[in-house]
Amino acid sequence: MQRYQQVVDQVIPKPPYLKNVIKAFLVGGTICLIGQCMQWGYMKWFGFTEKEAGDPVVATLVFLSMIATGLGYYKKLGQFGGAGSAVPVTGFGNAMISAAIEHRTEGYVLGTAANMFKLAGSVIAFGVLAAFIVGIVKTTLVTFGWIEW
Protein backbone atom coordinates (compact mmCIF):
# COMPACT_ATOMS: atom_id res chain seq x y z
CA MET A 1 0.00 0.00 0.00
CA GLN A 2 2.84 2.40 0.82
CA ARG A 3 4.52 1.60 -2.48
CA TYR A 4 1.31 2.37 -4.33
CA GLN A 5 0.96 5.72 -2.52
CA GLN A 6 4.57 6.60 -3.42
CA VAL A 7 3.89 5.88 -7.10
CA VAL A 8 0.69 7.93 -6.98
CA ASP A 9 2.50 10.85 -5.33
CA GLN A 10 5.14 10.78 -8.08
CA VAL A 11 2.59 10.67 -10.92
CA ILE A 12 0.05 13.23 -9.70
CA PRO A 13 1.07 16.72 -10.80
CA LYS A 14 1.57 19.27 -8.05
CA PRO A 15 -0.87 22.18 -8.27
CA PRO A 16 0.72 25.59 -8.83
CA TYR A 17 -0.28 27.03 -5.45
CA LEU A 18 1.61 30.31 -5.74
CA LYS A 19 0.25 30.99 -9.22
CA ASN A 20 -3.31 30.23 -8.06
CA VAL A 21 -2.96 32.48 -5.01
CA ILE A 22 -1.67 35.36 -7.13
CA LYS A 23 -4.50 34.97 -9.66
CA ALA A 24 -7.11 34.81 -6.87
CA PHE A 25 -5.61 37.92 -5.25
CA LEU A 26 -5.65 39.83 -8.54
CA VAL A 27 -9.24 38.89 -9.40
CA GLY A 28 -10.60 39.47 -5.89
CA GLY A 29 -8.62 42.69 -5.57
CA THR A 30 -9.92 43.95 -8.89
CA ILE A 31 -13.51 43.22 -7.86
CA CYS A 32 -12.92 45.11 -4.61
CA LEU A 33 -11.29 47.99 -6.50
CA ILE A 34 -14.33 48.21 -8.77
CA GLY A 35 -16.56 48.26 -5.68
CA GLN A 36 -14.47 51.02 -4.12
CA CYS A 37 -14.69 53.10 -7.30
CA MET A 38 -18.46 52.58 -7.30
CA GLN A 39 -18.61 53.76 -3.71
CA TRP A 40 -16.70 56.92 -4.59
CA GLY A 41 -19.04 57.44 -7.55
CA TYR A 42 -22.15 57.09 -5.39
CA MET A 43 -20.66 59.53 -2.92
CA LYS A 44 -19.66 62.07 -5.58
CA TRP A 45 -22.63 61.93 -7.96
CA PHE A 46 -25.48 61.06 -5.61
CA GLY A 47 -24.33 62.77 -2.42
CA PHE A 48 -24.25 59.61 -0.30
CA THR A 49 -22.12 59.42 2.80
CA GLU A 50 -19.51 56.68 2.99
CA LYS A 51 -21.83 54.57 5.12
CA GLU A 52 -24.89 55.15 2.91
CA ALA A 53 -23.03 54.22 -0.27
CA GLY A 54 -22.29 50.68 0.93
CA ASP A 55 -25.71 49.18 0.27
CA PRO A 56 -26.11 50.39 -3.32
CA VAL A 57 -22.55 49.28 -4.09
CA VAL A 58 -23.28 45.75 -2.86
CA ALA A 59 -26.56 45.64 -4.80
CA THR A 60 -24.84 46.90 -7.95
CA LEU A 61 -21.99 44.39 -7.67
CA VAL A 62 -24.42 41.49 -7.15
CA PHE A 63 -26.54 42.67 -10.08
CA LEU A 64 -23.52 43.00 -12.38
CA SER A 65 -22.26 39.56 -11.39
CA MET A 66 -25.67 38.11 -12.19
CA ILE A 67 -25.62 39.73 -15.63
CA ALA A 68 -22.05 38.51 -16.21
CA THR A 69 -23.08 34.98 -15.19
CA GLY A 70 -26.04 35.00 -17.55
CA LEU A 71 -23.79 36.12 -20.41
CA GLY A 72 -21.18 33.46 -19.57
CA TYR A 73 -18.38 35.82 -18.53
CA TYR A 74 -18.34 35.07 -14.81
CA LYS A 75 -17.63 31.39 -15.40
CA LYS A 76 -14.49 32.34 -17.32
CA LEU A 77 -13.51 34.73 -14.54
CA GLY A 78 -14.04 31.97 -11.97
CA GLN A 79 -11.96 29.50 -13.96
CA PHE A 80 -9.12 31.99 -14.07
CA GLY A 81 -9.34 33.54 -10.60
CA GLY A 82 -10.75 30.67 -8.51
CA ALA A 83 -11.59 31.81 -5.00
CA GLY A 84 -10.84 35.41 -5.98
CA SER A 85 -14.16 35.44 -7.84
CA ALA A 86 -16.11 33.39 -5.30
CA VAL A 87 -15.24 35.12 -2.03
CA PRO A 88 -16.43 38.69 -2.78
CA VAL A 89 -20.17 39.44 -2.74
CA THR A 90 -20.20 38.89 -6.51
CA GLY A 91 -19.81 35.18 -5.86
CA PHE A 92 -23.21 35.22 -4.14
CA GLY A 93 -24.88 36.66 -7.24
CA ASN A 94 -23.08 34.16 -9.44
CA ALA A 95 -24.14 31.22 -7.27
CA MET A 96 -27.79 32.29 -7.28
CA ILE A 97 -28.05 32.77 -11.02
CA SER A 98 -26.00 29.66 -11.82
CA ALA A 99 -28.52 27.53 -9.90
CA ALA A 100 -31.41 29.24 -11.67
CA ILE A 101 -29.86 28.74 -15.11
CA GLU A 102 -29.02 25.11 -14.38
CA HIS A 103 -32.63 24.24 -13.49
CA ARG A 104 -34.50 26.47 -15.96
CA THR A 105 -35.78 23.45 -17.94
CA GLU A 106 -37.85 22.40 -14.91
CA GLY A 107 -40.02 25.52 -15.18
CA TYR A 108 -40.02 29.01 -13.72
CA VAL A 109 -41.39 28.19 -10.28
CA LEU A 110 -40.15 24.68 -9.45
CA GLY A 111 -36.97 25.01 -11.48
CA THR A 112 -35.62 28.52 -11.64
CA ALA A 113 -37.09 30.16 -8.54
CA ALA A 114 -36.95 27.18 -6.20
CA ASN A 115 -33.34 26.32 -6.98
CA MET A 116 -32.17 29.93 -7.08
CA PHE A 117 -33.39 30.46 -3.53
CA LYS A 118 -31.88 27.26 -2.14
CA LEU A 119 -28.62 29.13 -1.67
CA ALA A 120 -30.12 32.56 -1.08
CA GLY A 121 -32.57 31.26 1.49
CA SER A 122 -29.88 29.84 3.74
CA VAL A 123 -27.73 32.95 3.39
CA ILE A 124 -30.67 35.23 4.20
CA ALA A 125 -31.78 33.05 7.13
CA PHE A 126 -28.26 32.98 8.57
CA GLY A 127 -27.94 36.75 8.06
CA VAL A 128 -31.20 37.43 9.89
CA LEU A 129 -30.23 35.09 12.74
CA ALA A 130 -26.76 36.64 13.03
CA ALA A 131 -28.24 40.17 13.03
CA PHE A 132 -30.69 39.15 15.76
CA ILE A 133 -27.93 37.72 17.96
CA VAL A 134 -25.69 40.76 17.44
CA GLY A 135 -28.65 43.03 18.27
CA ILE A 136 -29.35 41.13 21.52
CA VAL A 137 -25.68 41.25 22.54
CA LYS A 138 -25.40 44.98 21.74
CA THR A 139 -28.62 45.80 23.59
CA THR A 140 -27.44 43.82 26.61
CA LEU A 141 -24.05 45.53 26.66
CA VAL A 142 -25.61 48.99 26.36
CA THR A 143 -28.31 48.25 28.94
CA PHE A 144 -25.84 47.17 31.58
CA GLY A 145 -23.54 50.09 30.77
CA TRP A 146 -20.63 47.93 29.64
CA ILE A 147 -20.39 49.97 26.43
CA GLU A 148 -21.73 53.36 25.41
CA TRP A 149 -23.59 53.86 22.19
Selected residue with higher pLDDT from 95 and 21? 21
pLDDT for 25 beyond 90: yes
CB contact at 8 A, 61 and 93: yes
Mean pLDDT over 34-61 rounds to: 95
- Closest to 64 measured CA to CA, from 76, 53, 74: 74
pLDDT, residue 105, reads 81
Angle between helices 90-102 and 114-143 (to 10 degrees): 150
CA atoms within 13 A on the CB side of 5: 2
Q: Which of 3-7, 60-64, 139-143 has the lowest mean pLDDT?
A: 3-7
pLDDT, residue 13, reads 86
How big is the CA angle at 78 (ends 76 and 84), to the nearest 5 degrees?
140
**Three state DSSP letters for 7-20:** HHHHHCCCCCHHHH
Q: What is the CA radius of gyration of the chain?
A: 21
Largest CA distance in the chain: 68
Prediction pTM value: 0.72
Domain ranges for the chain:
2-102
Distance from CA of residue 75 to its chain's centroid?
Answer: 14
Q: For residue 94, which amino acid is it? A: N
Angle between helices 90-102 and 73-81 (to 10 degrees): 120
pLDDT for 115 beyond 90: no
